[in-house]
Amino acid sequence: MSTPLWAADTMRQVITPSDDSIVLESLPSGPRISAPTTTTNTSSLASQLERVQSLLTIARQQGDPRYLGYADAQLRVLLAKHPADLGTQLLQARLLQANHHFDAAERVLNTLLASPSAVHSEAALMSASIALVQGRYAHATKRCHQLTGLAMLPFSLICQAQVQGATGQASEALARLNALPAKQLGLTSDQRTWWRLSQADMADRLGSDNSAEDDYREAAAAGSAEAVAAYADWLFWQGHARDSLSLLAPWTAHDGLLSLLTRAEQQLGLSKSATAHKQQALGRWQAFLARGEPGHERELATFYLDVMQQPATALRLAQRNWTVQRETADYRIYIRAALAQSAKKDLAILAKWQASTKFEDVRVQRWLSAGNAALPSSNK
């Protein structure tokens, strides 16, 4: 489940560069919306919360870190003024989730779920999402069943299917999702994208390529960075690096998508653009690592394995990522990095996890059977 993942549980560390050559962040170019860091006394709380939510949405869709910062600054003001407001607390949990502070997000959500409230279902759905990302399927199931009422029925069904799909019942779960009447559910564009990505992921892991492509294409059409990344990665591994490149070309401002673009360019032998984009991506990722912030280890591991061809570094990043996230992409990059390093201990850890969860993935099985990392040059 990939609902929007969103003020850190601790204050962010202030970094003072010791030299003008140190890059703290590479920001996308182009126009941006006005983002004041304070709220006005004339604005209602509801309108201020809506403003913060819009910033979180932009951050998720565009992958632009500036908007998380804007949201953080404005939300701190609202939390100071309205610490007991449920809507404000819910947005706090969303921002924590976006910054990969999952434990802190859960603490906020547990407070909201301790008693019935207007945001109870939203809190339960967010908690289920975090649990699915972390591979805590029993907890996710519990939260899925807390989504009560007619309006939440579609979300409860999708939530339960996602747990099924990750625990040995992917075929049954995919059939349940495909049977849902899309036009009758009244889902927003973001919610439809979430649903389509869930279906695409299951179909991909089952080897149902036509079904996976239909859902990936429809999800990516909504224009979110997450969906574009998923579809572009699928195209790449299907042997369609040029189609992957075309999809990624407008997204050079997004660190993770720039890495995928560079990988496709290398595969296609476009050495001039690949070299330029590789240096650009390397500078961004090195700045990210220098700041010591959590998150994005999955994208970093992919970059160092596929673009930099440094499997030892990729494996360390994949190991770190696995302690936090256990979705399909996390499983795959850890497997590939472990195979590239012939890391038997890591492969044993993953085999034990797969046996306990019954997680199905035909592509991983092919990689394991081949006995190598299936690096981009092999396109296996």
Q: Read off the pTM.
A: 0.85
Q: Residues 81, 86, 88, CA angle at the centre, nearest 5°?
A: 50
Q: Is the pLDDT of residue 379 over 80?
A: no
Amino acid occupying residue 154: P
| pLDDT of the residue at 12 | 38
State the angle between helix axes of 225-237 and 45-62 in degrees (0 to 180), rounded to the nearest 10.
Answer: 20
Q: Is the pLDDT of residue 43 over 50?
A: yes
CB 249 within 8 A of CB 265: no
When mean pLDDT is compared over 6-20, 48-62, 148-162, the highest value belongs to: 148-162
| pLDDT of the residue at 21 | 65
Q: Is the pLDDT of residue 302 over 50?
A: yes
| pLDDT of the residue at 27 | 55
Q: Which residue has the tokens 């003020």?
A: 7
pLDDT one-digit tens code per residue, 309-360: 999 999 999 999 999 999 999 999 999 999 999 999 999 999 999 999 999 9
CA distance 60 to 37: 19
CA distance 70 to 128: 26
Average pLDDT (90-97) is 94
CA distance 175 to 57: 30
Does CATH place domain 149-223 in 2.30.30? no
Average pLDDT (212-238) is 95
| pLDDT of the residue at 167 | 98
Coil, helix or strand at residue 255: helix
Domain boundaries, the chain: 1-9+38-138, 149-223
Which range among 9-23, 131-145, 199-213, 218-232 shows the weakest confidence by mean pLDDT?
9-23
Q: Residues 223, 227, 230, CA angle at the centre, nearest 5°?
A: 145
Q: Which two tokens stand for residue 139?
A: 């907890």
Q: Which two tokens stand for residue 353?
A: 């996890």
Give the residue from 300, 291, 308, 366 showing the smallest Cα distance to 334.
300
Q: Which two tokens stand for residue 57?
A: 């949405």
Percent of the chain residues topping a pLDDT of 70: 86
Extended beta strands in the chain, E state: none
Q: Residues 248, 249, 251, CA angle at the centre, nearest 5°?
A: 70
Average pLDDT (45-61) is 89
CA distance 45 to 88: 9
Average pLDDT (4-11) is 29
Average pLDDT (162-172) is 97
Q: Is the pLDDT of residue 92 over 70?
A: yes
Q: Is the pLDDT of residue 10 over 50?
A: no
